[in-house]
Structure 1
């Protein structure tokens, strides 16, 4: 791919960095001195950065990575714990920190690639379950260790994980809380591929560059949400009804014309529709609370 040159210094956050180059937004966990321990501040900065990428017309793909030897070792309660008074408890609108990120990832219109190395434990793995791809280094270690700490799975992981690896494997990992390696994660489908540590990020960028150069942004956004939001309905009938509206809109879709022409002319496509501006207005999940 092209040289990855940053367009900003990423200093507008305190616990992550955010940079855009080659139409790829790189979001980096940046607390290496604390092994990227997860905090409320990190959760809110990640949520903001994902929203920023989703609304930036120049961004087509997000790569989520981390500085230091570990991706994220889970919650760092030494940074002050939760953002509510422990004596009175949270109000009804409060959202736990891992779920703030997984909810935003779920609603994203841009594909997200997580590059995982070292420890990805607790919140360090649950925040990535809504990503489209998880790439792992050979040294990666994973663990849904909540029961070994006397707490509970978060980040909506009890919804995401069985859909990725099946209920049996999800029960094993979550009920035992054991830590496991990259090979087991790959065999179960938790990660898509495994790479040597020094090749991990390059592999993520190669995949991101392929998505940028070969796929249509609106088509990707719609397809991603179709898979997430329609897979659990109780019959194919509502899916077919929505498919019919989508396919019925193809004659007036310039990206569909460009996709066919570029194939016939054996050239790279130049898709012009943009996300989120040009999403079909009849999609049932396009709501203000997903922004």
Structure 2
């Protein structure tokens, strides 16, 4: 039975361990708002806390994925769309102080939350995806696109810089040269270019996109340990910023040692020997190792 929860700008469904976040402002091509930011963060909190959830899919309702920030509130004064200037104060040196918590970019709050997800995340990009619609995809583990998808990092065309931590994510996804090209031109590119550059895994006809994403989600979740998947996902993402493989060696060693004593490993080995599907008992909500989150522990360094 499919479980559905409705918010004001999104809704979520849970079906057979697959938690789908549907951006739900189809009349606005799912344009991004502060409410959508808060609701997406809340949805990822739900997915992390629910042990029934094995994989998250993010997609859009209607013909668009996300048309970027909702520019309607900028009528008459375009700066109102992006400004948080009311929170900028002057420092002792007379220069602007940009340190206020309220100045944090909303898109970045979403991408950082996706980055920290304990469950794998698949983007099913069903249509136009520009601005935050493009950058929110970057911390997703896999991007699958419809033939109708159009993606653009259009920030210079709006007079602003890329947001949502994309200056960190985008070069890691497609390389520095392609990242700079896309951002400095603001060009809208199609599914073919998304595939050719490694931005997306696969392209599908519109009606086939979600079934294909769900098939991959099942492949990720069947016969795998939820705790091992949560650890592995975070290990790989967090290692992208480390300067030396010794950091990975330290975390790998802790993972092998701690998981080696776990009920999951006992079940994984026994099921292999008995030639049957495993039934892993450990849960993400209760059985993550005591060194997690490893990047916050001083001894990891």
Q: TM (normalized to structure 2)?
A: 0.88
What is the alpha-carbon distance in structure 2 between the residues aligned to residue 88 and residue 155 of structure 1? 19
The residue that corresponds to 2:108 in the other structure is 99
| 1:120 and 2:129 are equivalent in the alignment | yes
Map 1:10-89 → 2, pairs under 5 A:
10-11=5-6, 13-79=7-73, 86-89=85-88
Deviates more, 1:272-281 or 1:198-207: 272-281
Do 1:40 and 1:82's aligned partners in 2 also have CA atoms closer than 8 Å?
no
What is the alpha-carbon distance in structure 2 between the residues aligned to residue 173 and residue 276 of structure 1? 39
The residue that corresponds to 1:254 in the other structure is 263
The residue that corresponds to 1:230 in the other structure is 239
Do 2:87 and 2:100's aligned partners in 1 also have CA atoms closer than 8 Å?
no
The residue that corresponds to 1:203 in the other structure is 212
CA deviations over 1:41-96 (Å, ceiling 9, x no partner): 11111011111111111111111111110101100032575698644548611221
Deviation (angstroms), 1:27: 0.7
> What residue ranges of structure 1 are gaps of 5+ in the alignment?
none
Question: Measured at CA, do residues 109 and 286 of structure 1 come closer, stay the same or move farther in structure 2, by a change above 3 Å?
Answer: farther
| 1:285 and 2:295 are equivalent in the alignment | yes
Do 1:255 and 1:272's aligned partners in 2 also have CA atoms closer than 8 Å?
yes
Q: TM (normalized to structure 1)?
A: 0.91
Deviation (angstroms), 1:212: 1.8
CA RMSD between the two structures: 1.9
Do 1:141 and 1:179's aligned partners in 2 also have CA atoms closer than 8 Å?
yes
Which aligned runs of 4 or more in structure 1 are off by greater than 3 angstroms? Answer: 79-91
Map 1:106-145 → 2, pairs under 5 A:
106-145=115-154
| 1:146 and 2:155 are equivalent in the alignment | yes
Question: Measured at CA, do residues 29 and 22 of structure 1 come closer, stay the same or move farther in structure 2, by a change above 3 Å?
Answer: same
Any idea what SS the aligned residue of 2:101 has?
A: coil
Pick the aligned partner of 2:2 from 3, 6, 13: 6
Deviation (angstroms), 1:238: 2.2
> What residue ranges of structure 2 are gaps of 5+ in the alignment?
75-79, 89-97
Pick the aligned partner of 2:179 from 170, 180, 185: 170
Map 1:183-222 → 2, pairs under 5 A:
183-222=192-231
CA deviations over 1:160-191 (Å, ceiling 9, x no partner): 01111110110111111101011111111111
Do 1:39 and 1:79's aligned partners in 2 also have CA atoms closer than 8 Å?
no
What is the alpha-carbon distance in structure 2 between the residues aligned to residue 82 and residue 149 of structure 1? 10
CA deviations over 1:110-136 (Å, ceiling 9, x no partner): 001110021011100111111111110
Deviation (angstroms), 1:228: 1.2
